[in-house]
């Protein structure tokens, strides 16, 4: 269907076309033609890991504790196992919905050529908590 578009559908507008393309991920959202990224991981034990792809930087980090167990001491994030050079100690209580403040994220940019593994750990203890982390990344 070369040349097909929503403008050929009765009642569809150019705005409808853009909304459909954004929702399906066909239309790049960010600068330079690269799409924004949403990285997710469920954290249940020490040194759970997630990779930020080369050429992207961290925009925001969200944490959702799906249990009634607080993570004692909070969650730390580092570029090495047990490290805390990205996020020092984010308090994540029982059933918490937490967004890391911009000032709390100490390191956002890693490399344009190599993916960076991030390690998540409890500062003191996991206490059988299950925490879903979502990291939104943007292209450099």
Tell me: do 56 and 22 sit in the same domain.
no
* CATH number, domain with residue 79: 2.60.120
State pTM to two decimals: 0.74
69 plus 110 within the same structural domain: yes
| Res. 47 pLDDT band, cuts 50 70 90 | confident
8 A C-beta contact, residue 86 and residue 78: yes
Domain that holds residue 120: 36-139
Q: What is the pLDDT of residue 6?
A: 43
Burial 75-86 (b: 16+ CB within 10 A, else e): bbbbeeeebbeb
Q: Do 69 and 94 reside in the same domain of the chain?
A: yes
In angstroms and rounded to an integer, the radius of gyration of the C-alpha atoms of the chain is: 19
pLDDT in tens, 55-89: 999 999 999 999 999 999 999 999 999 999 999 99
Neighbours of 13 (CB within 10 A): 11
Query: In this predicted model, which residue has the larger pLDDT, 15 or 68?
Result: 68
Residues 66 and 82 in one domain: yes
104 with 133, same domain: the answer is: yes
Token digits of residue 3? 């040349």
Q: Could you give the CA distance from residue 47 to residue 41 in angstroms, rounded to a whole number?
A: 12
In this structure, are 9 and 60 located in the same domain? Answer: no
pLDDT of residue 7: 45
Q: What is the DSSP letter of 16?
A: H
Q: For the chain, what is the domain count? A: 2
Q: Are residues 24 and 60 in the same domain?
A: no
Name, in order, each residue with C-beta under 8 angstroms of 116's C-beta and a sequence gap of 6 or more: 51, 52, 54, 79, 110
Q: What is the pLDDT of residue 21?
A: 46
Same domain, 19 and 40: no
The Cα 63–Cα 52 span in angstroms is 16
Quick one: pLDDT at residue 135? 96
């Amino acid at each position: 269907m070369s040349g097909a578009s929503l403008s050929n559908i009765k009642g569809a507008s150019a705005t409808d076309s853009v909304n459909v393309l954004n929702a399906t991920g066909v239309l790049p959202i960010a600068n330079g033609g690269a799409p924004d990224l949403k990285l997710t991981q469920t954290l249940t034990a020490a040194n759970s890991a997630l990779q930020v792809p080369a050429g992207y930087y961290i925009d925001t980090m969200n944490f959702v504790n799906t249990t009634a167990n607080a993570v004692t001491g909070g969650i730390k994030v580092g570029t090495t196992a047990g490290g805390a050079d990205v996020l020092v100690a984010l308090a994540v209580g029982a059933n918490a919905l937490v967004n890391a403040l911009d000032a709390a994220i100490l390191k956002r940019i890693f490399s344009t050529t190599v993916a960076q593994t991030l390690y998540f750990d409890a500062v003191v203890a996991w206490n059988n908590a299950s925490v879903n982390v979502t990291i939104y990344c943007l292209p450099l």
